[in-house]
A and B are shown apart, each in its own frame.
Chain A
Amino acid sequence: MYAGPISRLIGELSKLPGIGQRTAQRLAFHILRADDDDALALAEAIREVKEKVGLCEVCFNLSEGPRCRICEDERRDRSLICVVEEPADVIPIERTGEYRGVYHVLGGALSPIDGIDPEDLKIAELLERVDSGVSEVVLATNPTTTGEATALHIAASLRDRAGANGAVTVTRLASGLPVGADLEHADEVTLGKALAGRRALG
């Protein structure tokens, strides 16, 4: 329908998440209309990110060098590992300023429907890391069907190896109410979970 280069650009854009054929067309024509400098800056940024950013060899977070900034940081507690699904999940936990341990990014969650099995995630690498003197693993996968199954699978695998590496504590993030929100505005499912997970005060 369009000249080769244009339909190629539309084709590439429509592979992006959340971008359908029509949005891809709009973006392509926006790029065509844009200044050469702007358009080439976009191309350059994509090239640069692919050349310079890889995965940390320890935790598989995004990294500009062989190791990410968090793994390089001497002040982080290496005996505490927080396991997340994606690199993007590291950011909100870092933003809390409350976590002083290191991370392990699985690169997804178990999902047989999507053909994702344990071998497709960095689970073996996590078990190896735990063998080298880790005291606690915090499972911070999402509270979804796939995230819960992933947490369960890792917890079971850690238990199976417990003989080899002594006692490692496995914890799971709590789920409940957003802080500062009124009870009145909480949805029933979240509130129900918060009730089920209530704790004694003091």
Chain B
Amino acid sequence: MHLAAVESRGFRNLADARVAVGAGITLLHGPNGAGKTNLLEAVYFGLVGRSFRAGNDRDLIAYEQPAARVELELAPQGAVLLAATDRRGERRHLLDGRPLGSSESRPLVSVFHPDRMELVKGPPAKRRAHFDRLVGALWPARADLRTRYGRTLAQRNALVGRIAAALASPASLATWDDRLAAEAVPLIESRAEVVEALSAPVTELGAALGLEGMEIRYRPRVPPERERIGSGLAERREHDLGRAYTSFGPQLDEVELRFGGRALKRFGSQGQHRIALLALLLAERRALIAAGRPSPLMLLDDVMSELDPARREMLVAALADAGQVMLTATEREQVPAAAGAEVSAVAIRDGRPLGAAGLGAADRDAA
């Protein structure tokens, strides 16, 4: 399944238009403020039903328009994904007119954008949520692990709070501890598996992009063994009752991105954070492909400005092997021809895409 076209109405500064999307790499190029990122955002909005930018849904709606609306045409089955939001805050997200069910019915998407830098330098909760979602993308049967653990944790927290306030007897606490321990085991195991799958590609791609010695590391505070987790919870019971929350378990674990033996979020520069995010997203893509999952649609906003010509070429070559990529650049030349890379370029001026031009590697050399 891939994206064949995107059609937007009343979306930010974009003119109402339909843009065909090619099978490989699509380059959106134009001057600053032309609407390149807005088009990436429109695609993301169509797939996910919200923006990847921080801020309000209402910001998506163009000036003096009642609603923002994006339709994505999916090939080969010709399905249409519709996402819309209006000024009263009404939202729609439909696949062929029906509310969306499981994530299987639409392509996975992966975004590089400054607002996503939180994943590298933000608090651990962001990374936990991200990698737990990746677990579901890699192994769809495990998509509910995080939700299940979260629900059980919320119940245990509520019980601990009620016991502390003398509203409930501690009789059922052992039950909830055991339940929580049972739900924690597959969650910890899956996170470890995800990090294992990402470990080599993160280091390799980090180095290739100029971040030598990048690492991803998961060290759970407790091994995935039901008894160990259960006894850990029991040991901290008095402590938890005093504070009315659960102070032990994988909800507190950190998946660390490291560089040169130190935590990247604390010691990295802005540029290093950007490279790290790009390396991480590419590593995830590689892990998905290796697991036989479809390659996610990569939406890469202004990645080239950071890279020297050799690394730009390396990136295009790395992206050319599978799946779809949409990326933005101010200059068309920032996306060099690479062996086997099929690049279609779409120029954007004043919110108006000027039509897609097929541009294979061979044509590129001639031009």
Q: Is A96 an interface residue (CB 8 A)?
A: no
A106 to nearest B CB, angstroms?
13
List residues of chain A with CB within 8 A of the CB of B178: 152, 156
Say whether B104 contacts A118, CB under 8 Å.
Answer: no
Say whether B148 contacts A188, CB under 8 Å.
Answer: no
Say whether B151 contacts A145, CB under 8 Å.
Answer: yes
Q: How far is the CA of A148 from the CA of B144 in the complex (A)?
A: 15
Say whether B175 contacts A188, CB under 8 Å.
Answer: no
Interface members, chain B 148-193 (any A CB < 8 Å): 148, 151-152, 154-156, 158-159, 162, 167-169, 171-172, 174-176, 178-179
Say whether B167 contacts A115, CB under 8 Å.
Answer: yes
Smallest CB gap from A156: residue in B: B175
Centre residue among A119, A149, A192 by max chain B CB count within 10 A? A149
Q: Is A191 an interface residue (CB 8 A)?
A: yes
From the candidates B102, B140, B155, B167, name the one contacting A111 in the complex (CB within 8 A).
B155
A169 to nearest B CB, angstroms?
20
User: What size tier do the contact residues of chain A reach?
Assistant: 20 to 34
Smallest CB gap from B176: residue in A: A149
Say whether A195 contacts B168, CB under 8 Å.
Answer: no
Say whether A119 contacts B169, CB under 8 Å.
Answer: yes
Say whether B102 contacts A118, CB under 8 Å.
Answer: no
Q: How far is the CA of A145 from the CA of B156 in the complex (A)?
A: 11
B185 to nearest A CB, angstroms?
13
Q: How far is the CA of A149 from the CA of B172 in the complex (A)?
A: 9
Q: How far is the CA of A187 from the CA of B136 in the complex (A)?
A: 13
Say whether B179 contacts A152, CB under 8 Å.
Answer: yes
Say whether A110 contacts B175, CB under 8 Å.
Answer: yes
Chain B interface helix/strand/loop/mixed: helix
Q: Is B367 an interface residue (CB 8 A)?
A: no
B133 to nearest A CB, angstroms?
14
List residues of chain A with CB within 8 A of the CB of B142: 189, 192
From the candidates B140, B167, B174, name the one contacting A156 in the complex (CB within 8 A).
B174
With A113-B158, A119-B169 given, is the CB distance from A189 to B143 under 8 Å?
Answer: yes
From the candidates A112, A118, A156, A195, name the one contacting B155 in the complex (CB within 8 A).
A112
User: What size tier do the contact residues of chain B reach?
Assistant: 20 to 34
Q: How far is the CA of A111 from the CA of B141 in the complex (A)?
A: 26
A148 to nearest B CB, angstroms?
6
Q: How far is the CA of A10 from the CA of B109 in the complex (A)?
A: 46
B153 to nearest A CB, angstroms?
10
Smallest CB gap from B174: residue in A: A156
Say whether A188 contacts B155, CB under 8 Å.
Answer: no
Smallest CB gap from B144: residue in A: A189
Smallest CB gap from A152: residue in B: B175
Centre residue among B102, B140, B175 by max chain A CB count within 10 A? B175
List residues of chain A with CB within 8 A of the CB of B162: 112, 115, 117
With A152-B179, A189-B141, A192-B141 given, is the CB distance from A112 to B169 under 8 Å?
Answer: no
B90 to nearest A CB, angstroms?
16
Say whether B152 contacts A149, CB under 8 Å.
Answer: yes
Q: Is A146 an interface residue (CB 8 A)?
A: yes
Q: How far is the CA of A12 from the CA of B168 in the complex (A)?
A: 30
List residues of chain B with CB within 8 A of the CB of A152: 175, 178-179
- Contact mask for chain A residues 145-159; partner B; CB cutoff 8 A; 1 contact, 0 none: 110110011001000
Say whether A117 contacts B168, CB under 8 Å.
Answer: yes
Centre residue among A111, A152, A153, A188 by max chain B CB count within 10 A? A188
B163 to nearest A CB, angstroms?
9
Q: How far is the CA of A152 from the CA of B179 in the complex (A)?
A: 8
Q: How far is the CA of A7 from the CA of B122 in the complex (A)?
A: 51
Say whether B141 contacts A195, CB under 8 Å.
Answer: yes
Say whether B175 contacts A153, CB under 8 Å.
Answer: yes
The 4 closest A-B CB pairs, nearest first, are A192-B141, A112-B159, A188-B140, A112-B158
Using A112-B168, A145-B151, A188-B141 as known contacts, list a sample of 19 further A-B pairs with CB atoms less than 8 Å apart, ordered by residue number in A: A110-B175, A110-B176, A111-B155, A112-B159, A115-B167, A118-B171, A118-B172, A119-B169, A119-B171, A146-B155, A148-B179, A152-B179, A153-B172, A153-B175, A187-B102, A189-B141, A191-B141, A192-B142, A195-B141
A selection of 12 A-B contacts at a CB cut-off of 8 Å is A110-B155, A110-B172, A110-B175, A110-B176, A113-B155, A115-B167, A118-B169, A145-B152, A145-B155, A192-B141, A192-B142, A193-B141
